[in-house]
Copies of this chain bind each other. A is one copy, B any other.
Amino acid sequence: MFKKNANEGSARSCTLYTSHGEVETPLFMPVATQGSVKALDPDDLKNAGSEIVLGNAYHLYLRPGAEIIAELGGLHNFMGWNGPLLTDSGGFQGFSLKELRNITETGIFFKSHIDGSSHTLTPESVIEIQELIGADIIMPLDVCLPSTASEYEVIDAISRTSRWMNRCLTVKKKDHQLLFGIIQGGLFLEHRKSSVASLIDLGLPGYAIGGLSVGESKAAMYEIVYQTAAILPEDKPRYLMGVGSPEDLVECVAGGIDMFDCVMPTRVARNGALYKRTGRENITVTKYKSSDRSFDENCDCYTCARFSAGYINHLFKSREYLAYRLASIHNLHFIHTLMYEMQIAIKSGFFSQYAETFRSEYNLPDIKRK
């Protein structure tokens, strides 16, 4: 189900096998929260280099409903994506929708952000929902905390997440779905260790690191990612949830992470922020208004191959829908190219050089460097 092909230091390149095909790591999963990566169709994703896509069980449970997705042939068929899919459980929404939820030992009580109706997600129900939805990789319900959480809250979250994991395993029926474990523990290495310890004997097919990129500094995040990755089994995939930006991807691959997901590449794209090897730039600035060249002349994505920066600038200024799609295609293509190049670099033994070149070229004007 998982095979390491090469490593250079902590960085690894592996193959992950799923019931909808195999994928090479390190990899990035674009986010289709509601069953659609915003503004893109499945062909756009394939053309941009996406190989595995993430959906959100909480959102899909609320709308259209897990039963409807099952009736329509499961999430793959529903969204027209025949490659691997992963669904997150809704644990993160227990953190992010904090005005609308209450967490007890039973599970997470939500008021729907759509219509205010009441719902309970339990460890058992999220498995049932995800079995109906039918993704290849599924996630347990977890307790996700902000980076400001106290040590007491962190300890409590770990032990509850661990108990919930066991409840998930008890009800899980479908062998072809890979149920990963989620490691919590905030920025406390000691508690990350105990979270790993509580999961390690369960024979899980993969480990996610949760509760990061929630307000802590990049340096603090990288530190705990490295230390946590170092104590995870060599022969299982390591998935860092909710990360990241290009710089985070490079640093966390260096630290031994295999899989990532994040809304950022497509979200910033819809605001006109496009990635380049020299850093992120806003296509709406004046210098692009009369540019007859591609935004990135070294890029062979559909957007850069077909349209001038001047046209994309105009589409954003005119609030044309096409702007959001073209920018999202470019940013995903950028991220997937970065991941692909890191795979090659690791297999060829020049990853540290690749990462150093990236760091020296990629401009982070407003963010403290590690």
> Measuring CB to CB, which residues of chain A are less than 8 angstroms from any residue of chain B?
34-36, 38-42, 63-64, 68, 71-73, 77-80, 289-290, 292, 306-308, 310-311, 313-315, 317-318, 320-322, 324-326
Chain B residues whose CB sits within 8 angstroms of the CB of A36 once the complex forms: 315, 318, 320-322
State the Cβ distance, A283 to closest chain B Cβ, in Å: 13
A68 contacts B307, C-beta separation under 8 Å: no
Question: Whose C-beta in chain B lies nearest to the C-beta of A308?
Answer: B72
Name the one of B77, B80, B311 contacting A78, with C-beta atoms under 8 angstroms.
B311
Chain B residues whose CB sits within 8 angstroms of the CB of A39 once the complex forms: 321-322
Chain B residues whose CB sits within 8 angstroms of the CB of A315 once the complex forms: 35-36
B325 contacts A292, C-beta separation under 8 Å: no
Contacts A79-B311, A310-B78, A314-B63; A320 near B38 (Cβ below 8 A): yes
Give the oligomeric copy count: 2
Name the one of B34, B292, B314, B321 contacting A71, with C-beta atoms under 8 angstroms.
B292
Chain B residues whose CB sits within 8 angstroms of the CB of A313 once the complex forms: 64
Chain B residues whose CB sits within 8 angstroms of the CB of A322 once the complex forms: 36, 38-41
- 5 smallest A-B Cβ distances: which pairs? A39-B321, A34-B318, A36-B320, A64-B314, A72-B292
State the Cβ distance, A134 to closest chain B Cβ, in Å: 14
A311 contacts B38, C-beta separation under 8 Å: no
Contacts A80-B307, A311-B79, A325-B41; A73 near B292 (Cβ below 8 A): yes
